[in-house]
């Protein structure tokens, strides 16, 4: 295997999953090692609940992400989420709407076709997806969640050309999560600015991915049932040491899949959002107990709404 390991090293990739996994020297731009992300924040009501619960439990919020898609939010709902995010200094990340599971094709639901995941089918869906992003950008969103590798490449090029804002954050979905350093490097090269890795990586595998990329890593430390249902709270301090800069994502075990969400199940979405914040408090307590030296980004100060 020596020749192959040397080949990987010559490409700037780790030649093995390092044991023991080394601490990462990489950091967020503010020097911090980790931030908190609350996923599946499906609209203004859910975001308001997340903020309220975070205040009650003293949970700093750095990012919320949504899963149902930009196309399933009204303009006013997007504007309201943008406004709440700006007032509280929270990055509001919205998923691109079109996806294979919303389309008419059946392969995404077949036992052998699940690898199709949330990719886009055909050129029309690519057009719809870019239009979804353009609409979100017009309404003030500067962070979108991408699940198709071709769309990631297109958006990366549009950023470089100035056709979409150059500061637009391109976050890759766990549904296209890279499980090895070469795959992670491909996503970064295509334009990903923050990369969701699989929730079941070992610490050594996480270290190998971190060695290959500079972009922040997003990691579900509690995963929804449909991506494994792992509850890895006690491992979080080691994840941060090895994977920094790292977004600690709090999914929710034993919870219904609410995609696509809407007002018909808003009470469920709100309840799940509040519990994710509670889970974040549990994880922060473990970090404080076992690794208080780890550095989290400061929550940006709130800004009161401007008076008309």
pLDDT digits (tens, 9 = 90+) for 286-297: 999 999 999 999
What dihedral do alpha carbons 76, 77, 79, 81 form, nearest 10°?
Answer: 160
Domains held by the chain: number: 1
Task: For 107-187, list the strands marked E by DSSP.
Answer: 143-146, 169-172
Instruction: Note whether residue 197 is domain-resident.
Output: yes
Domain extent, residue 159, equals: 22-290
Q: How confident is the model at residue 171 (pLDDT cuts 50, 70, 90)?
A: very high
Could you tell me how many residues make up the chain? Answer: 308
Both tokens assigned to 97: 């709407």
Residue 117 pLDDT exceeds 80 = no
Output the CA–CA distances (angstroms, integers) from residue 161 to 86, 155, 262, 287, in the order listed.
Answer: 26, 10, 35, 42
Q: How confident is the model at residue 300 (pLDDT cuts 50, 70, 90)?
A: confident
Q: What is the distance between the alpha carbons of residues 63 and 261, in angstroms, rounded to a whole number? A: 19
Output the CA–CA distances (angstroms, integers) from residue 8 to 2, 77, 290, in the order listed.
Answer: 10, 47, 35
Residue 225 pLDDT exceeds 90 = yes
Average pLDDT of the segment spanning 118-130: 95
Instruction: Note whether residue 154 is domain-resident.
Output: yes
Q: Cβ–Cβ contacts within 10 Å for residue 114, how many?
A: 13
Instruction: Note whether residue 8 is domain-resident.
Output: no
Residue 115 pLDDT exceeds 90 = no
Instruction: Note whether residue 90 is domain-resident.
Output: yes
What CATH number is associated with residue 236?
A: 3.20.20.70
Residue 90: left if φ>0, alpha if ψ -120 to 50, beta else—which one?
A: beta
Instruction: Note whether residue 232 is domain-resident.
Output: yes
pLDDT mean across residues, the chain: 94
Cβ distance 90 to 61 under 8 Å? yes
Backbone angles phi, psi at 131, to 5 degrees: -65, -35
Instruction: Note whether residue 158 is domain-resident.
Output: yes
Strands 143-146 and 34-38: unpaired
Q: How confident is the model at residue 307 (pLDDT cuts 50, 70, 90)?
A: very low
Global pTM reads 0.94
ω into 195 cis (within 30 of 0): no
* Best CA proximity match to 54, nearest among 85, 94, 78: 85
ω into 77 cis (within 30 of 0): no
Instruction: Note whether residue 308 is domain-resident.
Output: no
Instruction: Note whether residue 14 is domain-resident.
Output: no
Cβ distance 230 to 252 under 8 Å? no
Q: How confident is the model at residue 103 (pLDDT cuts 50, 70, 90)?
A: confident
Q: What is the distance between the alpha carbons of residues 204 and 55, in angstroms, rounded to a whole number? A: 35
Q: What is the distance between the alpha carbons of residues 126 and 105, in angstroms, rounded to a whole number? A: 15
Q: What is the pLDDT of residue 112?
A: 64
Beta bridge partners of 105: none
Q: What is the distance between the alpha carbons of residues 265 and 118, in angstroms, rounded to a whole number? A: 22
Both tokens assigned to 81: 């989420």
């Amino acid at each position: 295997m020596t020749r192959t390991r040397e080949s990987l090293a010559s490409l700037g990739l780790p030649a093995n999953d390092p044991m023991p996994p080394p601490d990462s020297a990489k950091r967020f731009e503010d020097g911090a090692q980790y931030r908190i992300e609350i996923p599946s924040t499906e609209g203004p009501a859910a975001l308001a609940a997340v903020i309220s619960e975070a205040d009650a439990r003293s949970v700093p919020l750095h990012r919320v992400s949504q899963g149902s898609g930009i196309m399933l939010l009204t303009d006013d709902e997007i504007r309201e989420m943008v406004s709440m995010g700006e007032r509280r200094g929270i990055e509001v990340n919205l998923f691109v709407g079109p996806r294979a599971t919303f389309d008419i094709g059946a392969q995404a639901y077949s036992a052998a076709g699940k690898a199709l995941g949330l990719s886009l089918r055909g050129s029309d869906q690519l057009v719809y997806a870019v239009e979804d992003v353009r609409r979100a950008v017009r309404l003030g969103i500067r962070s979108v969640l991408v699940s198709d590798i071709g769309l990631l490449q297109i958006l990366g090029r549009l950023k470089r050309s100035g056709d979409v804002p150059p500061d637009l954050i391109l976050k890759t979905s766990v549904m296209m999560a890279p499980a090895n350093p070469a795959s992670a490097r491909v996503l970064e090269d295509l334009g990903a600015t923050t990369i969701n890795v699989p929730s079941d990586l070992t610490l050594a595998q996480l270290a190998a991915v971190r060695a290959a990329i500079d972009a922040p890593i997003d990691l579900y430390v509690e995963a929804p049932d449909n991506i494994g249902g792992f509850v890895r709270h006690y491992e979080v301090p080691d994840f941060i040491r090895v994977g920094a800069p790292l977004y600690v994502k709090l999914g929710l075990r034993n919870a219904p899949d609410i995609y696509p969400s809407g007002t018909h199940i808003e009470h469920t979405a709100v309840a799940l959002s509040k519990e994710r914040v509670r889970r974040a408090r549990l994880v922060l307590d473990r970090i404080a107990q076992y690794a208080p030296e780890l550095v989290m980004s400061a929550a940006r100060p709130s800004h009161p709404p401007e008076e008309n």
